[in-house]
Chains A and B, each alone.
Chain A
């Protein structure tokens, strides 16, 4: 039969009469007719009312609360002990977003990925809701009755992490002081204890200096990931970005490291060293600096490769900074020696007003370990740390263990009594991250369970139970105007400078090279840090800025080592060290040292069991959890206690495979040789230049080979009013991924789980692309935030068959979810690959977790496309507010979520039609280029070239050919 129907005019009678349908003889047309009438009939008679929701207004309305309007509370971030200033945005009494506090003297408006993700911890339905004694739910009176007698008699040890809250510190010390035999032991899983210890030796005071990256013009780092995970990354990044403004104060940064860290990827010069070489390199550097300073130092021979660095450091005396992440006190003493002879104390290192962000004392911890081993401790109170997972202490040897915790973990499993702690968003607190800068943290909601905060618990045990508000207010009411400080989020108080002695270099001695051979290095991953937020799905799904992998830890091997071992990415390898072994998938990490296998710490925690059902539950799904039912594997047993390097490690191939869930599978910016068009050896995504070239010609890195062709059509979209535009400065962007989590929180981006990431179905609207430039392990790493470019000639718009994606009169590329039918043509046609398709209705089954959803952004359903909107909800909100007064919002008032949290202020957003706006000025920079400009899609997002202060690399880096 003819497969096509003819036009009615030429209808063949035989064709009409002959049924072509099924056994009943109903042909397709009749079936469609019948179906159509049935549907019409159903719609005509079946119009039942959609169930309308109930609305319950307040009984007594709080004065400041208008339903639907967001309130912002200045507060302090509790993601780590860095004490960054935060703004908590709350709608209808529930916090929905954490943002940076622009006025804060340390964080200067930035907030890292981890800090922003703490919000999800508030709505964690697995949090402990009430205290338990011996596994039985108890009330607080019973807890106090059980603990107080034990405090009174016997040997009491209180173990906490760094108490950045002066109130908590004073209460803990007061409690300890009031007891017969008690001691407070502080430890940090990411220990910096060697630095204060070294200062005790060289400066006579146990202080952690405040590192002033904002004042440093030459920075040399030895394994300290100060932009990613070390001490106070947001503060450091904000300071570091001061030197990235390409003015006369440009910073030059050299990084020595064995792993491929975020900080290393931003360095102007990066050198791979073995972990055992740190001491040797520092000694050689110290020797060369001492020689110039006229000091005596018996330096080991060699190290001539350091001369250019020494030259730069010496020329920047008083404006340089040497930092080291090593846990060896001797190495830190050498660092002090170097900084002293460079005249950096009092300039880039502040010991008079030191940092309180890391207070851990590893010697005290060792002493406690000895006491526990001897069975001497009667009562061990563990607050806010997980020493069992960290392998810090044999907790089970204590007579009675009391845990103060928000969630069940390895340590609470051993505890006799668990005090359920309030979430940080539920209680008052304070923080003094650096001497004289006091942050006040306000609660954003009432406790969900029967919980108490740490300071409330401590004050109850001291016999004067008070609320957290009373405790904090009492502590500070005489020091500064309380109400004003609460409103601002911080206050500055006068502190007596710490008395330091004259520099004592007597104990400084060179360090010989450490043991050679293959070593295991444990490192902290950006986002997960020491692993305390392992419960947090946003952070688990955040791609590592360098490796781009999500959801797992893995054994990183350099390209050469992987080739030597015959390992490819995804091969499961057995890593052995210290008498233990762990099996992990391999990750080939260019830029890592050849004698190192690097594994992220903080994985394999019990709290990750919860991710068994994360992501869509469909029949072909693969589990997110690893073979042992957890996310990743714990590398702790392989590392010596308190250290992150294990010598004599062994890596063997098991023959099995476990593919990594990576969000980027193409790594090198160079086009494979057989695919490269003439002159197109390097993809013009991230354009780079050197500082020298930039100073000669500010437009030096900008692509000139492919200027867009003139348009065939006249410009018929004049954009008379505002036209939104964004500028991203790649020189300032560190790749820290704070914007990724900011976008996820703001725009209700779902978590999809490991399997879906492997299927390239991650939903992040904003991603950080990472590119390697160079061959093998000698690579330069660059980062590029990539989001919808809101192209004027948007390729997505012309292919949408239903006009679900169209341009607005203000230059936004709009996506109407309710119009989208899910053809995915737009994603196919997008050259930037920023569109995300909802393959599923991602689970929103947890009613508590759903409270984090932004009510101003639609939760997308299955089958629709979505992408970055330039935070149109924020544009609308500010515009509506301003229009009430008959004007438009001023420049800078509308901030996208990614821009708001950026620690280095690399992102500028605004009206591109206003020549006075910050974004217009940024886009007028000669460094400005557009990604894939030759396509002539005319993006609204301009990038500013990445300028590094290094010798030109022969043209390979900056432009084609």
Chain B
């Protein structure tokens, strides 16, 4: 009996090691959501807006300074620009060129993605960064202390589709809180509490 069990256990260990080796990139502890990169209802590119065009993070996520939640911008915020900008510069030029060739007035162009903003319905996004209900994160003190958005969210300005980069685990939070107490943030000394009640209440 014992020998069968030993074989079974050895096979089990081998299977586990093998599966860990094969899935090394996917392997993570339960609750670790790194790499999560869901499709969104609009193919919104942070690389274009935040990276190439250099729109400030808080232009859209204005809650970060004022509230717990950074917030997802209302459609009305998008339309501040997209009332006028209906498609890429390339598409506009192509239409102009086509119109000139066909000797007609250029038609208004509108990308299918931007058209989704004008349907008069709220956009239902997939939340990427999600903390458990028993953890209370507040953007305000982090923004006020000068912590860069990328510190937690990764290089969003390079992402076509937003991906979770950091583990957002408690150990990861606490490590940073401990480090900044020693090193400060952006050259300023800060006091980042590691009390339980900082996040749990």
List A residues at the B interface (Cβ < 8 Å): 19, 24-26, 30, 33-34, 37-38, 40-41, 43-45, 47, 49-50, 52-61, 66-69, 806, 808-810, 812, 814-819, 856-859, 869, 872-873, 876, 880-881, 883-884
Contact = CB atoms under 8 A, between A and B. Distances in A.
A58 B79 CA distance: 13
B141 A883 contact: yes
B165 to A, nearest CB: 15
Contacts of A19: 1-2
A59 B196 contact: no
A810 B128 CA distance: 34
Given A61-B77, A812-B197, A869-B197, A37 B12 contact: yes
Contacts of A25: 1-2
B38 interface: yes
B72 interface: yes
A857 B67 CA distance: 16
B122 A57 contact: yes
A552 B13 CA distance: 61
Given A54-B126, A808-B197, A60 B5 contact: no
Nearest to A38: B12
Contacts of A33: 9
Interface stretch (B84-92, B95-103, B105-113, B132-140): B132-140
Contacts of A859: 133
B27 interface: yes
Given A24-B1, A61-B74, 17 more contacts: A34-B5, A40-B16, A43-B29, A50-B33, A54-B126, A55-B127, A61-B76, A67-B67, A68-B68, A814-B196, A816-B196, A818-B132, A818-B200, A819-B196, A869-B197, A876-B197, A883-B144
B120 interface: yes
B19 A45 contact: yes
A858 B201 CA distance: 6
B30 interface: yes
Task: Indicate the member of A24, A59, A869 with the most B CB atoms within 10 Å.
Answer: A59
Nearest to A817: B134
Nearest to B78: A57
A881 B5 contact: no
30 contacts: A34-B9, A41-B16, A43-B30, A44-B19, A44-B20, A47-B27, A47-B30, A50-B130, A52-B130, A53-B130, A54-B124, A55-B124, A56-B122, A57-B71, A57-B122, A59-B120, A60-B74, A60-B76, A68-B67, A69-B67, A808-B195, A809-B195, A814-B196, A819-B200, A856-B201, A857-B201, A876-B198, A876-B201, A884-B140, A884-B144
Contacts, number: 165
A57 B9 contact: no
Interface string B25-41: 01111111100101000
A881 B23 CA distance: 45
Nearest to A874: B201
A43 B31 CA distance: 10
A40 to B, nearest CB: 6
B1 A809 contact: no
B121 interface: yes
B123 interface: yes
Contacts of A49: 33, 36
A838 to B, nearest CB: 13
A30 B30 CA distance: 25
Contacts of B36: 49, 52
Nearest to B144: A884
Contact of A47 (B28, B71, B125): B28
Nearest to B65: A884
A30 B125 contact: no
Nearest to B141: A880
B73 to A, nearest CB: 6
Given A52-B36, A68-B68, A817 B200 contact: yes
Nearest to A70: B67
A858 B199 CA distance: 11
B116 interface: no
B74 A873 contact: no
Contacts of A858: 133-134, 200-201
Nearest to A860: B134
Of the four ranges (under 10, 10 to 19, 20 to 34, 35 or more), the interface on chain B belongs to 35 or more
B152 interface: no
B63 A68 contact: yes
A126 B1 CA distance: 63
A816 B136 CA distance: 12
Given A50-B33, A881-B140, A883-B144, A57 B73 contact: yes
Given A814-B200, A880-B141, A30 B5 contact: yes
Interface string B48-84: 0000000000000001011111011111110000000
Nearest to A25: B1
B78 to A, nearest CB: 10
A34 B4 CA distance: 13
A424 to B, nearest CB: 28
Contacts of B128: 52
A881 B138 CA distance: 11
B1 A45 contact: no
Contact of A45 (B23, B29, B127, B130): B23
B174 interface: no
Interface in B148-201: 193, 195-198, 200-201
Contacts of B43: none
Contacts of B72: 55, 57
B122 to A, nearest CB: 5
Contacts of A50: 31, 33, 130
Contacts of B63: 66-69
A34 B12 contact: yes
A19 B2 CA distance: 9
> Shortest 7 CB-CB distances between A and B: which pairs?
A61-B74, A808-B195, A58-B74, A68-B67, A68-B69, A68-B68, A57-B72
B115 interface: no
Contacts of A37: 9, 12-13, 16
Contacts of A57: 71-75, 122-123, 125
Contact of A59 (B31, B69, B121): B121
Given A30-B5, A43-B29, A50-B31, A59 B75 contact: yes
Contacts of A52: 33, 36, 38, 126-128, 130
Contacts of B196: 806, 808, 814-816, 819
Contacts of A817: 134, 200
B127 A54 contact: yes
Contacts of B195: 808-810, 812, 814
Nearest to A875: B197
A645 B162 CA distance: 72
A56 B124 contact: yes
A68 B139 CA distance: 11
A806 B193 CA distance: 14
Contacts of B8: 34
B197 to A, nearest CB: 4
A617 B65 CA distance: 44
B94 interface: no
Nearest to B68: A68
A327 B13 CA distance: 84
B19 to A, nearest CB: 5
A809 B198 CA distance: 11
A60 B75 contact: yes
Contacts of A69: 63, 66-68
Contact of A58 (B9, B75, B120, B198): B75
A56 B68 CA distance: 17
B19 A41 contact: yes
A44 B25 CA distance: 11
Contacts of A45: 19, 23
Contacts of A47: 26-28, 30, 32
Nearest to B194: A809
B164 to A, nearest CB: 10
B28 to A, nearest CB: 6
Nearest to A881: B140
Contacts of B38: 52
